[in-house]
Amino acid sequence: MIYKTSSEEETIKAAAAFAATLKPRDIILLNGDLGMGKSVFSRAVIRTITHNPDLDVPSPTFTLAQTYNTPMGDVWHFDLYRLKDPEELYEIGWEDALSSGIILVEWPERLNYLTPKKSITVTLTQGETPTSRVITVER
């Protein structure tokens, strides 16, 4: 599936539509260069799943992981930009995340050998203008 958006607001709507297709134990790997909107997309997915459009969803860049309790189980949001070694994931709940809920991973290439075989890949790239995005979902 491909979403084409022309603004951040449209990217948020696309993420909400995508979130409506998720089920417990889905693992979403978010790819894209810096500034492509991975955190915006993640935030919109989390707000949709929690049914709380005003939920404070900080980027887990420094904590590496944030967890949100939702009607579908826990949602784990990992930002692995600062991850030095995949083994560090075990210290922040990776095994717990795999056993329940939904997982969103920004910078999934840092998972290395821990990359789950069954996952949904979402790739965000710049469209024709600086604010437009092409969001490709591969299941």
What pLDDT digit, counting tens, does each position of 18-71 carry? Answer: 999 999 999 999 999 999 999 999 999 999 999 999 999 998 888 899 999 998
Say which DSSP state 41 is in. H
More confident residue, 120 or 61: 120
Judged by DSSP in three states, 121 sits in strand
pLDDT at residue 101, rounded to an integer = 86
pLDDT band at residue 110 using 50, 70 and 90 as cut-offs: very high
What pTM was computed for the model? 0.94
Task: Give the model's pLDDT for residue 62.
Answer: 80
Query: Stretch 118-134: mean pLDDT, rounded?
Result: 97
pLDDT of amino acid 124? 99
How many CA within 13 A on the CB side of residue 131?
6
Per-residue confidence (pLDDT) for residue 13, from 0 to 100: 98
> Hey, what CATH topology would domain 2-138 get?
Rossmann fold (3.40.50)
Separation between Cα atoms, residue 10 and residue 3, nearest integer Å: 9
pLDDT of residue 63: 85
User: Structural domain boundaries of the chain?
Assistant: 2-138
pLDDT tens profile 74-101:
999 999 999 999 999 999 999 999 988 8
Distances (CA, A) of 39 to 62, 95, 105: 13, 22, 10
- Residue 56: which residues within 8 A CB-CB, separation 6 or more? none
pLDDT score of 100:
82
